[in-house]
Amino acid sequence: MGKPIVHFEIPVNDSERMSRFYTDLFDWKFDKQPMGSGMDYWMIETTGRGPEHLGGGMYLKQGSESDRPRFFIGVEDIDEHTERFKQAGGSVIIEKQEVPGFGWSVIGSDPEGNVLGLFQPLQPAPQTNRTQSTAKRRRASTSSRKTKRKAPSRSSKKRKK
């Protein structure tokens, strides 16, 4: 099965005007995020949130040749796919860089000059079996209570009457 498109980007000169344009036209939602090094980035929600929904981003043009709309293809190993990209005739424009909190990206152009990106998401944290550990804690707590209980004293029996 092929690699999916997982993200798109739109470079703009006027973020307010363009976010209104896309909101009015397509009902997209924009959320401004600081991305470090003084760059603001607007996350775009097109149809909802989550891995089954294609989202994007908008940023102010930086004045480079790569400031064109582009899409990102999801890959499992960005280093391996960057090498494959080069071997297939692609050129890297922006080397591997971290997307804080999300993963890693590389931006390049195909043999005809179309700009595209590769994106490797952060690996999800391994899931712990909370149910099992909770059950173990309960058993340990119950068994420690059983061993700590004392027989009722005579004075407590007298109070109950």
pLDDT in tens, 27-75: 999 999 887 777 889 999 998 887 778 999 999 998 887 788 999 999 9
Q: Is 71 helix (H, G, I), strand (E, B) or coil?
A: strand
- pLDDT, one tens digit per residue, over 102-160 is 999 999 999 888 899 999 999 765 554 444 443 444 444 444 444 444 444 454 444 44
CA 123 to chain centre: 9
Cα–Cα dist 14/29, whole Å: 16
pTM over 0.75: no
